[in-house]
Amino acid sequence: MTRTVRFSKNTANIFFHILTQCNLRCRHCYINPQQHGTERLDSATMQAWLRIMARRAPGANLVLLGGEPTLHPDLPDAVRSARSLGYNSITIDTNGYLFHDILDRITPTEVDFISFSLDGASAATNDPIRGAGSFAVCTQGIRKAAAKGFATSLIYTVSRINLSELQAVPAMLARLPVDHLFIQVIGLRGQSATCKADPLLPLQVSRQQWQDHVLPVARQVARQGIRVTYPKVYLDMDEPFECAGRVADNYFIFPNGRVYRCPLCEDYPIHSLLIDQTQLTEAAPINEADLFLLDIAEGCVMNKLVQPQNLAYLPNGRPAYKIACCLLKEELQPEL
């Protein structure tokens, strides 16, 4: 089985944003230039930072992303450096435009997965979210990548805009050469947190909507022979909550050198690590690592702080449910 990022306990993943530039303006983009920088790392810096993280988390899964990573002309250098450093798997996250003839400059032996983002099973739903023409370009990119022998995955970020079309995803995947489906949940960060005037907000779905729609679709896709990864999001009160900051090893690296362990923290200067030149250093407290140590009845501390509107309480003041860690997900193996 081809390897890629894993969202489970006792795993290490590195999400390396090699630039923040993108050709699209997605409604829910989490990139925040004020907090993440606007730099495009040069080839030498990318390779130096990959060496630093390989020492910190040997054998980690690596995801190269942006912005749009294929806009970086030196992306192949990063891929080959990562392969030589012994990363467990290498994935490129892309919007499908595949700039700089990237498919001709890397090989399936160098990259384990190319992961494509779509937010609809049709152009009518996807394009208002991600940009005019992006559905056609992305689906064509998936076919091109598969034709060249690359393993492909698809990321579908569920929102109120595209929830009703989630049920059409299995039929769409039957027409596309996709090996792995990632269903994501909207986090209120970046664009979706700051664009309060956007008529498409609010984007987040309710607990009932999530439970009614996501798991049935995930099971159907698995029956089609495609592996599915999805977040549980909502936990019953008797289910245990675990924070990936305690039980896993995830790193989100941005071009300004900030290294976060939790994606919900990324709109704030509370990163727990910093790459300074050629060293990885611990940030001074108080930072996100201090928050990981807190136990609250609602589950995820950062959810309570930055997006408490997805919580609900009983008449006695106790929470009706917990919010699960967004970095610990469920996985369904393909039913062949």
- How far is residue 32's CA from residue 193's CA, in Å, rounded to a whole number? 10
CATH of the structural domain 12-240+325-332, one choice from 3.40.366.10, 3.40.190.80, 3.20.20.70, 3.40.50.11540: 3.20.20.70
Q: Mean pLDDT throughout 197-219?
A: 81
**Who contacts 212 (Cβ-Cβ below 8 Å, separation ≥6)?**
none
Domain boundaries, the chain: 12-240+325-332
- Give ∠ CA 289-250-217 in degrees, rounded to 5: 120
pLDDT at 28: 87
Give pTM, 2 decimals: 0.94
pLDDT at 148: 98
78 pLDDT band, cuts 50/70/90, is: very high
Contact predicate 331/227, CB 8 Å: yes
Q: Mean pLDDT throughout 47-60?
A: 97
SS3 state of residue 318: coil
Task: Say which residue, 202 or 162, is predicted with more confidence.
Answer: 162
Contact predicate 12/250, CB 8 Å: yes
Q: Mean pLDDT throughout 284-310?
A: 94
DSSP 58-75: TT-EEEEESS-GGGSTTH
**Helix residue ranges per DSSP H, the chain:** 33-36, 43-56, 75-84, 102-105, 123-130, 134-147, 169-174, 191-194, 207-223, 244-247, 288-292, 301-306
Q: What is the tens place of the pLDDT at every residue in 100-117?
A: 999 999 999 999 999 999
SS3 state of residue 132: coil
Contact predicate 33/72, CB 8 Å: no
**Who contacts 23 (Cβ-Cβ below 8 Å, separation ≥6)?**
68, 71, 95, 97, 99, 131
The DSSP secondary-structure symbol of 14 reads: E
- How far is residue 221's CA from residue 167's CA, in Å, rounded to a whole number? 10
Q: What is the tens place of the pLDDT at every residue in 132-173?
A: 999 999 999 999 999 999 999 999 999 989 999 999 999 999
189 pLDDT band, cuts 50/70/90, is: low
